[in-house]
Amino acid sequence: MILTNENKLNGAVILDLLEEISIKNGHDIFCSISKGESKSSFYLNFIDQKSNYKFSLFKTNKSHFKIGVYIKISNKRISPWRYTFIKQHQEEINKMYNECKNTYVLLIAGNDGVVLLTYDNLKKLLDENFLETEWLSVSRKYNQYYRVDGQDSKKKINIPKNNFPDLIIDQISEFKS
């Protein structure tokens, strides 16, 4: 297996997310990871091990929670970072959202950090009319939020630097309670 930079960054982001989930939620949540259609998409399946429900592979119950994660990478060292979404990328993200409503797009901004977009935020930037090629742009000044602009957006969206992984961890905490 050839270990590409994309594989390393995807693995680092997923590992960071899982470490933070473990720190915030203890060891009572089990997570399994499955690949999506492309090498940029992942499904994280969480099971609350302290639940009174028995885990079953064949039926869904309240002790099971699933999120979809789609990762895009910009290796550029400094702001602005640019991301291209071809039609297949957007179709795959849309399919992930139809499978699990908790779908996120993670934009790796060089060595600066990770921008977490909810599916709803993504749709404000790239609408439902999928063109062959569309773009997102992320910029950030020192000690400020990320500013995300998209081909179909009317105005930029501000995303806090600590939004990743906190937003996903909050979703998992809600699932546990």
Per-residue pLDDT tens digits for 39-74:
999 999 988 766 554 444 444 455 678 999 999 999
Confidence of residue 166 (pLDDT cuts 50, 70, 90): very high
Question: For 81-136, how does the pLDDT look when each residue is reduced to its tens digit (9 = 90+)?
Answer: 999 999 999 999 999 999 998 999 999 999 999 999 999 999 999 999 999 999 99
Q: What is the 3-state secondary structure (H, E, C) of the chain?
A: CCCCHHHHHHHHHHHHHHHHHHHHHCCCEEEEEEECCCCCEEEEEEEECCCCCCCCCCCCCCCEEEEEEEEEEECCCCCCEEEEEEHHHHHHHHHHHHHCCCEEEEEEECCCEEEEEEHHHHHHHCCCCCCCEEEEEEECCCCCCEEEEECCCCCCEEECCCHHHHHHHHHHHHHHC
Q: What is the pLDDT of residue 58?
A: 40
Residues 113 and 138: beta-carbon distance below 8 Å: no
Confidence of residue 177 (pLDDT cuts 50, 70, 90): low
Residues 6+ apart with CB under 8 A from 80: 137, 138, 139
Q: Model-level pTM? A: 0.89
Mean residue pLDDT across the chain: 88
Q: What is the pLDDT of residue 55?
A: 45
- Calculate Rg over the CA atoms of the chain: 17
